[in-house]
Amino acid sequence: MTQNQTGETHLNMHSGNVPPQMNHGGHELFDVHEVLSGTVAALNQAMLLRSHVKDPELLDILDRQYRFTLNEYNTTVECFKTGQDPTQPTQSYEMKQGNDFVYGMKESPPKKPIQSADEISDEIISGFLLGACKTAASAKTMSALETCNPVVRRVLADSIPNCIEMAYELSIYQNKHHYYQVPQLAQQDMQQLLNAFAPAQGQPGMPNNNIQ
């Protein structure tokens, strides 16, 4: 803020000379704080749940995703604080699961809230992890849309596919163990929806609006 001769205050308008560490808009600061807070919560949750995991396959997924998310968190924190390229760029997460889903519904007991910590299961844990990935994907997308700093925006945007990949890995794991069942429509209904759209033909010109 500066003060003129009449005692009125006004904001200084910056024009391209903002230092990198200050190159952030207001929405950006709040949104990235939300992303980082959510990441810390997800990492803490995974650490608390780890000792309750029974399936070695799920434990392997949890550990791999934890390590990757922790590194990505450090990268985001660094570029957010400095406004410059991080020393370790964002990586691409690679899952071990195949991509085949089992379709159809099998009868299973209705779900309900547990009554004690002794009831924590691999189904519940994988559900927590999947929910955290979905939340992170949404939060990072919304944050990237409001980010002014080009480095932070790129880091956030590059990390969104990793959230999607981790969520996909967990959903396939859940599906394989019948925790997450995928119904399908009847073939006739599915075919009708698949054929509901057709590609546009040619390259028509824009309408000629004769505005005087």
Residue 110 domain-assigned?
no
pLDDT of 136: 97
Residue 149 domain-assigned?
yes
DSSP string, 128-185: HHHHHHHHHHHHHHHHHHT--SHHHHHHHHHHHHHHHHHHHHHHHHHHHTTSS-B---
159 lies in which domain range? Answer: 23-102+122-192
pLDDT digits (tens, 9 = 90+) for 22-59: 777 777 889 999 999 999 999 999 999 999 999 999 99
Q: Which residues of the chain carry a pLDDT beneath 50? A: 1-4, 6-13, 15
Cβ atoms 148, 23 nearer than 8 A: yes
pLDDT of 168: 96
CATH number of the domain enclosing 31: 1.20.1260.10
Residue 13 domain-assigned?
no
Residue 129 domain-assigned?
yes
What is the total count of domains within the chain? 1
pLDDT of 202: 78
Check: pTM over 0.95? Answer yes or no.
no
Q: How many CB atoms lie within 10 A of CB 152?
A: 26
